[in-house]
Structures are given as structure tokens and as C-alpha cells.
Amino acid sequence: MEYKETNEYKYYENKKNWDFDTFNIEVEKLTNWDMYEILRNITNSKSKVLDLGTGGGEKVIKHFPSYLSEIIATDFSLSMIETAKNNLKKSKRSNIKFMVMDNLNMNLKKNYFDVVVARNTKIDPKQIYEVLKEGGYLIVRGVDKYDCYELKKIFGYGQGYFDDTQISIKDYNNIINANFKNTELVFIHEREYYDNYESLYEFLKIVPILNDMNDKNNIDERKLSKYVEENIYNNKVRLLRRYYGIVAKK
């Protein structure tokens, strides 16, 4: 099956962007790990950076340093890249190029990039290794089965819920097997606070936490109400997020 026929591709084609500012989410960081700070610390004005799974480009436009020599940001969804290009027009950034590309079938120059960044997306570490310069870095940030785990337990399903091995562990092992060195895996914890039940409900309708990219968006309101009742803090609904970060060097 071609990737354009998969539920995952159709899911992202329908979403078109990942700008969640309208949800007014408060974030409490519990782990001292920031991929953008790491990116700033390992780059300079000559650095070339590849961003995989860029979505609508909001993160790369807002958080990637303006001093970088070149940024190529890719996504396999044409709709996402169209959104990203429109967002780029509104910004004053001139060092970013958006393009459609499947992470698992990369068609880029070998030994070209100083850093590859991958956020919440599938990767092939061997292909990433080939496009990185010697001494270049891979930075990964993702989610797996324990993200929103209390919520998933109430529903009895969700993204990665039935995985025997966490995606974080798979990525870590695959990166090591691709001959990267100095590979470090960090588990990241954050608390998100939503204004009310309705805000969380609308958020869950558009992110692959419960629906696992099947795009049915069928959320059992009784189960969600149970979660909300058990997770009210200071008049807001709390959601515990669990991510993972990996930094590796070629």
C-alpha cells in the first residue's frame, strides 16, 4: 500500500496545521529538556538543519534560530506543506524552505546537514545518518504509549496503548544500530491545563491521542466526563503528557 492510501496520510491531509494557540493551554514543564535550546547550543551561522515532520511549519518558524544558514523542513502531507508555505509568507523568515517528502524515502544530499530534527514523526535512522555530516547531530522528540496514559486507561485504547515495546525504546535502539554514537534517551514529563471540559474535548478531536489516526473522532463523553471529574486542579482540567527526547551524534 502506498503511504498516500494510509490512514496516517489521510489524517494529516485533513488536519492541515498544528496551531493549538486557540485552546489556551497552560503548560507546566517537569523535565529540564528543551530541543530548541539544544538546537541553539549546537549550531551557528554556517549550520544547515533538516526538520522532519514539520506539519504546518509553526514550530520551525517560531523556534528555529534565524541565524542558521539553511533550514529545509519537510512533511509527507501536501496540505501541511501548503499551510507551512502560507505561514512562511506571513513571517519575515528567509532561511527556510518547505518541501513534501516521506521520511522513510528521503531524497536529499548525502553528508549535507549539520543537524536533523524529528518531532512526533516516524524516522529511518540509517537514512538520517547518510544525510548528516560527520559529527552532525540527530535530535528526536516524540510521544508513545504512556502519554496521557491515565486518560487512555479510562477509554481502554489510544495511540500506542497496546504497543509491546514503546516507540521511544524502538527509536533509541534503531538509532544505535544505525551507528550513531553518544546516544542519550530522556523521558520528558509535562502537565497541560485546559480551561474546561469543552476545551479538552475539542483538543482530543483533532490530535491522535485517542483516535490513533483513524480520524473517526468518536469520543465517549461519559468516559471523558469521568476523567475530567478526577483531574480538576485549580478549576482547570489537567492532562499529564509524557514525551521522550533523544540526542545522538554521527
* pLDDT over 80 (residue 14): no
pLDDT at 184: 98
Which residue type is seen at 227?
Answer: Y
pLDDT at 169: 97
The average pLDDT across 230-250 equals 97
* pLDDT over 80 (residue 20): no
CA distance 156 to 36: 34
* Closest among 18, 16, 69 to 44, alpha carbons compared: 69
**pLDDT band for position 84 (cuts 50, 70, 90):** very high
pTM for the whole thing?
0.89
Which residue type is seen at 150?
Answer: E
**Kind of pairing, strands 70-75 and 48-52?**
parallel
CA distance 2 to 96: 28
* pLDDT over 60 (residue 3): no
Q: Identify the three-state secondary structure at position 72.
A: strand
CA distance 226 to 248: 41
The number of domains in the chain is 1
Q: What is the mean pLDDT of the chain?
A: 90
* pLDDT over 50 (residue 180): yes
**Kind of pairing, strands 26-29 and 96-100?**
unpaired
CA distance 209 to 27: 17
CA distance 181 to 247: 9
Cα of first residue to Cα of last residue in the chain, in angstroms, is: 32
Q: What is the pLDDT of residues 184-195, one digit of tens each?
A: 999 999 999 999
CA distance 144 to 149: 10
Beta carbons of 74 and 98 less than 8 angstroms apart: yes
Q: Which domain holds residue 46?
A: 3-249
Beta carbons of 105 and 42 less than 8 angstroms apart: no
DSSP line for 89-140 = HHS---SEEEEE--TTS----TT-EEEEEEESS---HHHHHHHEEEEEEEEE
Q: Domain with 232 in it: what CATH number?
A: 3.40.50.150
